[in-house]
Structure 1
Amino acid sequence: MTAAILFLALAANPGSTTCLAARPPSVAALTRAVAHPPASEPQALAVIHTEGTLPHTGIHDESAAAVRDFGYLLDLVLAWRDTHDVAALARLATYLDAWVQRYRPSFDPIDETNLAHLIVAYRLTAADLPAPTAQRTRAFIQQLALGYLQRMEAHRGDDKSVWSNKWQSHRIKLVTLAASALNDPALFARARAAFVAQLSANLRPDGESRDFAERDALHYVVYDLEPLVLAAAVAQGQGEDWWRLPGAEGQTLAAALDWLLPFVRGQRQHEEFRHSQVRFDAQRAAAGLPGFSGVWDPKGAKALYWSATLLDPRYVAVARQLAEAPPRALWAYAPPCSGQAGLR
């Protein structure tokens, strides 16, 4: 991509939407959410590991239970941001301290993808948190971002699929969120370069993803695109248009969402994982895990298309068809709406 094309892409106006086209969570809903944590105390672990494992093996179940804390972090953030619940802010600080002091990054982006919620929680409350908590959390996020970027840059051009499939998309989400939360232009520039490289390596010009070719599953198309859409939403908050930012052969995130649309609208169907190249997919199907065989359910894309409405209002009708309301956590990622402070 020439410097001129890159300049035009970055200078373009961000998407015309300014907030989620839905009613925000009510005070009552947030109060209920905050009153019902996943467990009585933070479930912080030194390591999370579910990637490549079946339920009831290794530390899969313990990890799956622990990561529920990250969704609860966003409930606390929304309660603080939207209702000024001081108790919610104090509880948020307790959870952040528990996790950043115990957890040690593995730099496995599938295991760690939910750390995105921790980063967003810090971004929206950094000025209000107790100073020691804010400092510890900032240091943790910086360690995470630098570790991922160093690994990504060392493997740029690597033919191994984990450096260009959904794994890389989740790395990009984490580093983009981190760069924004840290307000670090140099880190953000490195995240942008990784995003463009991923468009080039992961997508065909027609929008089909590498993950579809490898796994023969729309489940993984969605899982690949979701983090890229969130990264683009963060970039929009920084005044950059990554929605139409092109890869080396003109690939764009917008084209990828459009490629999936016929399946989402029910115009086409797909039998999931029938020709997957990965043995673990067959193991999960044999174990009876939902979604690893049979016809793909379009509702699996509801979070993806609600996220995409932040970038392109064309998807509002599709998102509403899939789910009446967006996932509550998405409100923490959304730009300001009706006077609320959003992710910038």
Structure 2
Amino acid sequence: MTKRPILNPLFLALSIVVSAPTLAASWCTNTGPGPLGQLRNEVNKQLLPQSRAIERVHTEGTLPHQGIRDQSLEAKKDWPLMRDLALLWQKQHQPGDLAALSRLLNDWGTRYKPSFNPVDETGLDAYIDAYAMTRDDLAPPIRAVAQRFIRELGEGYLNQMEHNFKPGDGRWINNWNSHRVKLATLSAVALEDPAMFARARAQFIEQLGRNLRPGGSTVDVEQRDALHYVVYDLEPLTRAAVAARLRGQNWLVFKGASDASLENALDWLAPYAKGDKTHEEFVHSHVKFDDQRREAGESGFSGLWNPQSATGLYAMATLLNPKYAAVSERLHPMGGWMAACWGR
């Protein structure tokens, strides 16, 4: 892998390009202030003088304090921080926010080496969000670093799905692949790359056929007996569909080879999210690791499924079809970065 140059964003951030942002304006549709106080408090709490950027993160398949899990969780605090800084810059235009964001975009874009483990890296959607919201305001060298990194991420996941697919390995049809699709789609839309977007769209449709059942359930719920994993399937696919709107396409109604659609799956989960139905989690899971996490006392791996875990999912689904607004409001009104980006 070619070594990427490390730049000094504290100085480069001052070279703001004055132009009319196009992608930034459409990436987030909320023209009001949103919950800026909440975002500012989070930034004040999490922002350090230096970035937390490391070469690799790994939390997938690990229990607390195993391997580099703790170090990775600490490093990952930078990822949503970048999105919060981008939203604050977009709303308030304080130079310190752009300088801090530029430092983080540069450090992670030059130091981190993608592992293409989608469970470990799904949170990098926040890096893509931050770039997309501030692209036209970033100093050209910072913009170039972010673009190279996002292209490496998106192309890498597309190449994996197109050339490394293993039919007998569940990680190529379950939630893992949904996260691959999300990162590839967001990368394509953020880079405004039609060829990459067409490839991501093809993989989205393939995943519908592999992961979703015609009646609306998912492969993961069959394997894990947990709505926790239904949400984990649908969140990345819904996020990809939200991004696809910027290309003028409605992925909510697309159907895969099994005649399943994202809309059917969201409709299937809705009665549970509203509390009309309940589900005891992981009782008949076929995955040993679920037992290990339950025994380790990790929250959410036993007892009734908590519908509040679908709050973000249905907040995004409402952007695709207002029929989900009733579910979303019943769970919790859109808040945090989503409200700052998409709220009304």
Band of TM-score, shorter chain: 0.7 to 0.9
* Match in the other structure for 2:289: 280
Contact 1:50 1:59 in 2 (8 A): yes
Q: Which runs of 4+ in 1 moved over 6 A?
A: none
* Match in the other structure for 1:45: 54
Contact 1:105 1:144 in 2 (8 A): yes
Distance 2:208 2:341 in 1: 22
Contact 1:27 1:83 in 2 (8 A): no
Contact 2:34 2:340 in 1 (8 A): no
Please state if 1:55 is matched with 2:64. yes
Distance 2:33 2:46 in 1: 20
TM-score by length of 2: 0.88
* Match in the other structure for 1:295: 304
* Match in the other structure for 1:219: 228
* Equivalent of residue 142 in structure 1, options 141, 144, 151: 151
Q: Counterpart amino acid of 2:199? A: R
Q: Percent identity?
A: 46
2:203 is paired with a residue of what secondary structure?
Answer: helix
Q: Counterpart amino acid of 1:101? A: T
Distance 2:294 2:32 in 1: 37
Please state if 1:320 is matched with 2:321. no
* Equivalent of residue 82 in structure 1, options 91, 103, 110: 91
Matches within 5 A, 1:162-181: 162-181=171-190
Contact 2:128 2:186 in 1 (8 A): yes
In 2 relative to 1, CA 27–116 (structure 1 residues): closer, same or farther, beyond 3 Å? closer
In 2 relative to 1, CA 199–261 (structure 1 residues): closer, same or farther, beyond 3 Å? same
Contact 1:199 1:247 in 2 (8 A): yes
* Equivalent of residue 131 in structure 2, options 122, 125, 131: 122
* Match in the other structure for 1:192: 201
Q: Counterpart amino acid of 1:298? A: P
Q: Structure 2 stretches of 5 or more lacking a match?
A: 1-27
Displacement of 1:325? 3.1
* Match in the other structure for 1:270: 279
Q: Counterpart amino acid of 2:174? A: N
Distance 2:340 2:106 in 1: 20
In 2 relative to 1, CA 139–53 (structure 1 residues): closer, same or farther, beyond 3 Å? same
Please state if 1:34 is matched with 2:43. yes
* Match in the other structure for 2:80: 71
- Greater share of helix: 2
* Match in the other structure for 2:264: 255
* Equivalent of residue 330 in structure 1, options 319, 335, 338: 338
Distance 1:23 1:265 in 2: 29
Q: Counterpart amino acid of 2:158? A: L
Distance 1:272 1:23 in 2: 39
Q: Structure 1 stretches of 5 or more lacking a match?
A: 1-17, 339-344
Displacement of 1:182? 0.9
1:310 is paired with a residue of what secondary structure?
Answer: helix
Higher relative contact order (CA 8 A, sep 6+): 1
In 2 relative to 1, CA 194–44 (structure 1 residues): closer, same or farther, beyond 3 Å? same
Distance 1:45 1:206 in 2: 43
Q: Counterpart amino acid of 2:145? A: R
In 2 relative to 1, CA 52–151 (structure 1 residues): closer, same or farther, beyond 3 Å? same
In 2 relative to 1, CA 332–139 (structure 1 residues): closer, same or farther, beyond 3 Å? farther
Q: What is the root-mean-square deviation of aligned Cα atoms in Å?
A: 1.9
